[in-house]
Amino acid sequence: MTHLSKSTNTHDPKIEQAIVQLAHDNPMLGQAAVAERLQQSGLKISASGVRYIWKKHGLETAVKRLQALTAKHEEGLDALKENERRLLERGLVTHQLSQAGLYTELGEDVPLERRQIILNAAAELFSEQGYNRTSMREIASKAGLLPGSVYHHFTSKEELFIAVHKEGFRAVMAKVQAAISKHTDPWESLRSACEMHVNQMFSGTPVDRLTGHSLAFTHNELLSLIKPERDAYEKVFKDLIAALPLAPHVDRSLLRLTLLGAMNWVFIWYKEGKRSTIEIADAIVEMIRKGVES
């Protein structure tokens, strides 16, 4: 009966306020410790009652309480002790990995997955606000990590930009090659490659999308840093076009540039609605193959 009488005090505004305040003042305390401390001050509440109030305010885990604390203080993460910052970082990484379906329990391979989270966060910010307006601190915040953790993996923003695109080109190259491996007909191989190329601009991970968008630009000085990866990717299309049965007078190099230009330009004008990205890619290949004259 004593337990029940304490639990009913979850409706006492004074107790609720004390629990929330203590969550901000000492976020590392567990529910039993909070209940004991409040009981010593004359406020009757059980451990389960504390948890009830925590859940009501979205404070049921230490990570959530630490997030609330950083949001409350202008200093942000600097308001936390070192052990609190590490716990918050670890908890946010776990959450993001779980959301992405990459990892459900932290283990020895966390550094590899943490690197992927950083790449995705950087890709999102580079896409949304551009390279120059994105800082390493913003990338760390987006990834739910401390700036030092980002610098542990990437020494500079430029290095991170290169890594994002290398990962993106590796991924899209693998997808294109997997798509064309299903065909023996050279036109069908080209069609599948083009479908994947256009689709990558609008779907997939943030890294995939940023890489796809970058294919639409040729004069950005940063792209010179990823020229080897871009050239290797374009060689896939060079080989596909070399295999096509074309008329002798056709300039295959010009055909490749025309095809890539048409596909890359989709990023500039495409809006969801009339046609899907797959249908657009198919139409581009069909026009090149059969022409447009009636």
Task: List the one residue out of 83, 280, 137 whose CA is nearest residue 195.
Answer: 280
* Same domain, residue pair 126 and 10: no
* Same domain, residue pair 184 and 255: yes
Query: What is d(CA 242, CA 247) in angstroms, rounded to the nearest whole number?
Result: 12
Using a CB cutoff of 8 Å and minimum separation of 24, what contacts does 26-32 make? 27/62, 27/65, 27/66, 27/68, 27/69, 27/84, 28/62, 28/65, 28/83, 28/84, 28/87
* Same domain, residue pair 285 and 166: yes
For residue 5, what pLDDT is reported?
40
Could you say which of 58, 80, 102 is where a domain stops?
80
* Same domain, residue pair 167 and 258: yes
Query: What is d(CA 177, CA 263) in angstroms, rounded to the nearest whole number?
Result: 18
pTM: 0.58
Identify the CATH number of the domain in which residue 253 sits. 1.10.357.10
* Same domain, residue pair 143 and 187: no
* Same domain, residue pair 166 and 240: yes
Please state the domain count of the chain. Answer: 3
Question: Per the structure block, which two tokens stand in for 17?
Answer: 């306020």
* Same domain, residue pair 168 and 283: yes
Strand, helix or coil for residue 183? coil
Contact 47, 35 (CB under 8 A): yes
One pLDDT digit (tens) per residue for the chain, 294 residues: 334 344 446 677 888 888 888 877 777 777 777 888 888 888 888 888 888 888 888 887 776 776 676 667 665 555 566 665 555 565 555 555 444 444 433 343 444 477 888 898 898 898 888 888 899 988 988 887 778 888 888 999 989 988 988 888 888 888 899 999 999 999 999 999 999 988 888 877 788 778 777 766 654 667 777 888 888 888 999 999 999 999 999 999 999 989 988 888 887 788 877 888 899 999 999 999 988 877
* Same domain, residue pair 64 and 99: no
* Same domain, residue pair 148 and 198: no
For residue 227, what pLDDT is reported?
82
Residues of the domain holding 102:
88-155
Query: What is d(CA 27, CA 186) in angstroms, rounded to the nearest whole number?
Result: 62
Query: What is d(CA 276, CA 114) in angstroms, rounded to the nearest whole number?
Result: 33
Going from the C-alpha of 56 to that of each of 22, 88, 138, the distances in angstroms are 15, 20, 30
Could you say which of 48, 80, 112 is where a domain stops?
80
